[in-house]
Amino acid sequence: MKTFKYSILAIFVSLVTISCSDDDDNVYMMPTEPDFSGNYSQADQMGRPAVNTVFVSSESKDMFNTTIPSQQATNFQSMFQTNLEALSPAYTNPGDTNALGLDSATFTGLLATDVLNVSLDGTTTFYDGTNVLTGRALADDVITVELLLIFGGEDFTENPTLSNDNVDANDKEFSTSFPYLASPW
């Protein structure tokens, strides 16, 4: 009789244990993994600032956005050169270069592949007077740099009224720590 009681108790305990672990399983399974399935197809892309805005003709902007970077120079360098020379006709003079020593064809060849070059070894900036295209920091005045390279000639002195938009800083200060960008307005 005593043995029987123990058996009943054992069965009861195991039943309770089983049902408990079932419950646990159910609780554990409740949060379903989000659905990450499916195919995602290119809509927009960006590497360097203002490239799409300045050098891509309006009728080509969608096509540029859906051309992979490794094919951009082949497909778009001549359009970039045409648009650069229309903006800054001095580039059509033989031997004319910008302050980086790049002539029209070389400069637009660089720009047409719309990727950002980033150094993993130190200073990261679009241009700080010493480092060129080693990244893009939040405070970099990228538009003035691009205007200087488009309009400024060999030593940044040509076309001074076109070479600086005279907006040199953001309207809010950046943070030195993550997430770096300022709080929204």
Partner 1 sequence: MKKMKILLVTSTLALASIILVAADHIDAPAVQGGTSDITDYYAFQGENTDNIVFVANVQGLLSPSATANASFDENTLVEFNIDTNADNIEDLVIQAVARDGEMYFFGPTTPSSTGLNSMIETSATQSKVAISNYGSQPTIQSTNGMMLFAGPRDDPFFMDFAQYSEIIAGNATAFNNPGSDTFAGSNVMSIVVEVPKSLIGGSGTINTWVESKTKQ
3-class DSSP state of 132: strand
Hunting for tokens 């203002």 — which residue is that? 50
Whether 164 and 147 have beta carbons less than 8 Å apart is answered as yes
Contacts of residue 161, defined as CB under 8 A and 6 or more positions apart, other chains included, come to none
5-13, 15-23, 93-101, 137-145 -> range binding partner 1 (CB under 8 A): 137-145
How many C-beta atoms surround the C-beta of residue 161 within 10 A?
7
Binding mask 52-81 for partner 1 (x = CB under 8 A): xx-------xx-xxx-xxx-x---------
Whether 85 and 92 have beta carbons less than 8 Å apart is answered as yes
Binding-site size, partner 1 (CB under 8 A): 68
Q: Least Å distance between CB 134 and partner 1?
A: 8
40 binds partner 1 (CB under 8 A): yes
Between residues 31 and 95, which has the closer beta carbon with respect to partner 1? 31
Whether 146 and 49 have beta carbons less than 8 Å apart is answered as yes
How would you class 56 by CB atoms within 10 Å of its CB: exposed for 0-12, middle for 13-18, buried for 19 or more?
Answer: buried
1-9, 15-23, 92-100, 162-170 -> range binding partner 1 (CB under 8 A): 162-170
For partner 1, which residue of 22, 23, 24, 165 counts as binding (CB under 8 A)? Answer: 165
Binding mask 106-135 for partner 1 (x = CB under 8 A): -------xxxxxxxxxxxxx--------xx
3-class DSSP state of 150: helix
Per CB under 8 A, residues contacting partner 1 are: 34-47, 49, 52-53, 61-62, 64-66, 68-70, 72, 113-125, 134-138, 141, 143, 161-162, 164-172, 174, 176-185
